[in-house]
Amino acid sequence: MCAWQVRLLPLSPTHSYAIPALSCNQISLRRELSIADNITGTQHSPRVPFIAAELAMTFPRLFSFVLSLLALPAVAAAASNATPMPATDHIKTLVLGSGCFWGAEKGYAALPGVVDAVSGYADGRKVEVNYEAISSFEHKRDPDNYAEVVEVRYNSAVLSTRALLEHFFEEHDPTQKNRQGNDVGTQYRSLILYSDDEQRDAAMAARADYQKLLSAAGYGAIVTDIKPLEKFHPAEEYHQDYLVKNPHGYCPNHATGVRFAPEKPGEIRAVDNAALLKGEHIVVLEAEHCPYCARFKKDVTDDYAGSVPLSFRDASELDGLTLKTPTWATPTVYFLKDGKEVAGHQGYMNAAEFYAALGQFKLGKGQAYEVAFGKGTDRRFCRRYDEFKDTPDGVFIDKLSGAPLFDTRDRFNSGTGWLSFTRSVAGATVDVADHSYGMERIEVVSKSSGIHLGHVFDDGPNGQPRYCINATVLEFRPRVK
């Protein structure tokens, strides 16, 4: 009796699915799929990769059926992501040649921040693109031959380009031309094929720095070529994950032993997240050179003073947190409860979007949320009113943003069962015409968060206005003397 086992292995801990079953003659199948998630109304970019592995070669119809099911999310993602997400995408691709690609691929795949590593061929012409032709005696000395390379896709917010290049130089001998040890031929040349100017500049700098270290150690000149990538050709399937499938396979290491400085750029920094493991928190994932992060700070967080603590982290500083939303885009906002993600949002959020998400997280679906976002009204003499009607000297603040809204010095007892003030803090609220329920009223809205606060009338004491305000959308802060 033959049985099946189908397992989808995520390239990050973000997603995992399993279809339990059995075993036959199994193969390793590499397949990338685009998926889209909908987390609290957020559409994620369809670039999260998966590998479908260990699928038996028999029963081809079931094989095709499973793959067709896996392809469905890609169709939905493509349709729903026509508009680019306002975020900085940190997934980059760098193609590296350092001799036999089997061991190199395994080394790259083990680096934190690497999304995928694929063996293949690049930088050739006039030669048939397959292993047999490239390895033939006819082409071993051919300068137009393809090189054995590894296409490395990585999250540059976790693993910097510089750190990846340092690994590249340290794990082979870049002074050997067209060979690595006993592997001789133009297909084994040392090679960096970049995709953007940042990678080119990082490669040039890393090569120059490593040359100084090699020269001091008695080695000759580096012969690594640095070129723009024209096209990458994936190698035959049996080359992919070769040392995973053949643990005792050929894996020579021709490293010089010369290392860069111990404190490498991109090295993970130790950050204490203990405080984030208790209670409610907002964590904003940011990165260097992220214009959307700077814009989010300017438009939203620079003025945030809410009671839910807000912290900033980069992708290497998330240890101990349980997150669902991927980390490849910045900014990404995580709403945490006891260190676990309750909701997440990838990409830039304006103030209205941020406070709408925070409102769902902090207020839930109770009375306060209905007042803040549904323009509801507290019950007269509600419990919160009783708590706030006779507080000590201080200010009432926006329950979400923490911005001061009303001062106890302007409070008076109107007898209506709602908090009443003769004015709001200067510049803290906005008056909006309200024609609901067939009435002509003036709605009072928080300028910082946009939430509904109540209404203002012209029947206050001594001809002053009466701000009739819902207590459930406020918090009280005693005055600091």
Flag whether 254 is in a domain.
Answer: no
C-alpha span between 108 and 480 (Å, rounded): 56
Same domain, 320 and 348: yes
Q: List the 225-228 sheet strands across, edge first.
A: 225-228, 190-194, 91-98, 147-155, 114-122, 232-234
CATH number for the domain including 397? Answer: 2.170.150.20
Domain annotation covers residue 262: no
Residues 229 and 278 in one domain: no
Decide: 449 and 354 in contact? Cβ < 8 Å. no
User: Do 340 and 472 share a domain, yes or no?
Assistant: no
Q: Where are the alpha helices (DSSP H) in 37-116?
A: 60-80, 101-109
* Residue whose pair of structure tokens reads 């390379």 in the numeric block: 149
**Is residue 31 located within the same domain as residue 155?**
no
pLDDT value for 246: 81
Neighbours of 392 (CB within 10 A): 8
3-state secondary structure of 224: coil
pTM: 0.62
Reply yes or no on whether the pLDDT at 455 is more than 60: yes
Closest CA to 96 of 116, 114, 119: 119
Are residues 167 and 213 located together in one domain of the fold? Answer: yes
CATH code of the domain in which 214 resides: 3.30.1060.10
Location of structure tokens 């917010």: 157
Q: Which of 196, 247, 216, 221 is nearest to 92 (CA)?
A: 196
Task: Place 19 in a pLDDT band, splitting at 50, 70 and 90.
Answer: very low
pLDDT at 480 over 70: yes
Residue 472 lies in domain: 371-478
pLDDT of 15 > 70? The answer is no
In-domain check, residue 412? yes
Could you tell me which residues are beta bridge partners of residue 330?
A: 88
- Is residue 251 a part of any domain in this protein? no
Rounded Cα gap, residues 116 and 121, in angstroms? 16
**Is 468 an annotated catalytic residue?**
no
Which one is predicted more confidently, 217 or 4?
217
Predicted pLDDT of residue 242: 83
**Residues 237, 95 share a domain:** yes
Give the list of residues 6+ apart from residue 447 with CB closer than 8 angstroms, or none. 403, 427, 428, 429, 430
Whether 100 and 190 share a structural domain: yes
Residues whose CB is less than 8 angstroms from the CB of residue 208 and which lie 6 or more positions away in sequence, other chains included: none
Q: Quick check: helix, strand or coil at residue 368? A: helix
Q: Report how many domains make up the chain.
A: 4
C-beta separation of 344 from 336 below 8 A: no
Q: Which of 100, 290, 293, 468 is catalytic?
A: 100
Q: Which residues pair with 191 in a beta bridge?
A: 97, 225
259 lies in a domain?
A: no
Q: Are residues 73 and 174 in the same domain?
A: no
> Is position 258 within any domain?
no
Instruction: Output b/e per residue, 403-419; b: 16+ Cβ within 10 A.
Output: bbbbbbebbeebeebbb
Residues 125 and 239 in one domain: yes
pLDDT of residue 232: 95
Give the E-state strand segments of 196-279 in sequence order.
225-228, 232-234
Q: Using H for helix, E for strand and C for coil, what is the string for 395-426?
A: EEEECCCCCEEEEHHHEECCCCCCEEECCCCC
Least confident stretch, 26-40, 78-92, 414-428: 26-40
State how far Cα 258 lies from the chain centre: 34
Average pLDDT of the chain is 83
Q: Which residue has the tokens 């050179």?
A: 289
Does 265 map to a domain? Answer: no
Pairing of the two strands 404-407 and 394-398: antiparallel
**Of the residues 80, 96, 120, the one at which a domain ends:** 80
Instruction: Quote the CA–CA distance of 136 and 151 in Å, as a whole number.
Output: 23
What pLDDT does 314 receive?
Answer: 87
- 362-391 pLDDT, tens digit each: 999 889 999 999 999 999 999 999 999 999
Q: What is the model's pLDDT at position 60?
A: 45
The SS3 assignment for 154 reads strand
Whether residues 239 and 95 share a domain: the answer is: yes
- The mean-pLDDT minimum among 117-126, 169-178, 244-253 falls in 244-253
335 within some domain: yes
Among 363, 395, 422, the domain boundary falls at: 363
- Residue 340 sits in a domain of what CATH number? 3.40.30.10
- Which residue's entry shows tokens 């699915």? 17
Report the relative pairing of strands 280-285 and 310-313 from DSSP bridges: parallel
Least confident of 59-73, 255-269, 432-446: 59-73
184 with 46, same domain: the answer is no
Name the residue among 376, 349, 348, 351 with its Cα closest to residue 363.
376
pLDDT digits (tens, 9 = 90+) for 61-86: 444 445 445 544 544 444 445 566 78
Which of 33, 60, 80 is a domain's end point?
Answer: 80
Whether 419 and 308 share a structural domain: no
